[in-house]
């Protein structure tokens, strides 16, 4: 199969309402004529101080993660209602019920497709990381 000469139009999304990237990645990338948004995983960093919020409290961390995602979505002109897929990464699957409870407050009607996995470790030792794909 020959490679296509078409280029994908990408718009980098960056907002001070979410933590700045701590590596070589963007907070999110908007593609396909501004219709599909891919976010990087968000952790419980306070966007103003850069400090981890809720050091050992998965409830507090999940709220901060979802607030960070809300800021990135808003910067792209979207919201949780446009999320079609989410990925949740947990340091401990024992936190699943608490994360699910908080997550469900942001996705009340017609929640997106989702995967949830336990991982060996997350950046900065956090307990939860979430990324999403949204279509506007």
| pLDDT tens figures, 124-135 | 999 999 999 999
Closest by Cα among 86, 85, 94, 82 to 118:
94
Cβ-proximal residues to 91 (8 Å cutoff; 6+ apart), any chain: 118, 119, 121, 122, 125, 126, 127, 128
Domain range annotation of the chain: 11-135
What are the tokens at 90?
Answer: 């947990």
Output the CATH code of domain 11-135.
Answer: 3.30.1330.40
| pLDDT tens figures, 23-51 | 899 999 999 787 999 999 999 999 999 99
Quote the mean pLDDT of the chain.
Answer: 94
| pLDDT tens figures, 64-104 | 999 999 999 999 999 999 999 999 999 999 999 999 999 99
CB atoms under 10 Å from CB of 31, counted, come to: 13
pLDDT number for residue 51: 96
């Amino acid at each position: 199969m020959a490679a296509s000469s078409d280029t994908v139009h990408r718009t980098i999304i960056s907002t001070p309402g979410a933590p700045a990237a701590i590596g070589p990645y963007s907070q999110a990338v908007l593609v396909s004529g501004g219709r599909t948004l891919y976010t990087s995983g968000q952790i419980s960093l306070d966007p103003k101080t850069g400090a981890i919020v809720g050091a050992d409290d998965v409830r507090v961390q999940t709220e901060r993660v979802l607030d960070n995602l809300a800021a990135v979505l808003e910067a792209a002109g979207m919201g949780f209602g446009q999320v079609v897929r989410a990925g949740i990464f947990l340091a401990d699957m024992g936190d699943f019920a608490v994360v699910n409870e908080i997550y469900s407050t942001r996705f009340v009607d017609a929640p997106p497709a989702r995967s949830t996995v336990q991982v060996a470790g997350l950046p900065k030792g956090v307990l939860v990381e979430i990324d999403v794909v949204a279509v506007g």
